[in-house]
Amino acid sequence: MPDLPPRRRTLIVLLSWAHARGHLVQVGCGFHSGVRYYVPDDLIRLFGDVDVQSLERKMKCSRCGRGDNMEVDLRLPSAAERQRMTIRRLVDIRVKRIPVWRDDAPHNSDP
């Protein structure tokens, strides 16, 4: 009988669970060394109450604009660490309005 690989246990953690326990969401781009920290409640307003790992596919780097190599993790910082962190807060959600046009051909009403 062939050896089967061990089953991977996947833990699904929702943003609401992380917010209730005081976690921060750590997001980093694989192409840059910097990371950013977000409050889960702000991300809930933007993406809904989704799994934390699904944010890797939904977020883009604010520096290079790429979204194919994002790394997302939860962080529970101590009080001393939290004072040194710069936390990104959601101020406003803007929707870009793009007009869609159609060309109507003139109607010939020759009798």
In the prediction, which pLDDT does 10 show?
67
Looking at per-residue pLDDT, the higher value among 67 and 58 belongs to 58
The whole model's pTM is what?
A: 0.75
Phi/psi of residue 12, nearest 5 degrees: -95, 120
**pLDDT over threshold 60, residue 44:** yes
How confident is residue 63, by pLDDT bands cut at 50, 70 and 90?
confident
How confident is residue 106, by pLDDT bands cut at 50, 70 and 90?
confident
How confident is residue 1, by pLDDT bands cut at 50, 70 and 90?
very low
- Give Cα 46 distance to the centre of its chain: 8
In the prediction, which pLDDT does 62 show?
80
72 within 8 A of 23, measured Cβ to Cβ: no
What would the mean pLDDT of 4-8 be, rounded to a whole number?
A: 54
Q: Which residues pair with 73 in a beta bridge?
A: 26
**pLDDT over threshold 80, residue 110:** no
What would the mean pLDDT of 8-25 be, rounded to a whole number?
A: 86
> Can you list the positions of beta strands (E) in the chain?
24-29, 35-38, 70-75, 87-88
**pLDDT over threshold 50, residue 80:** yes
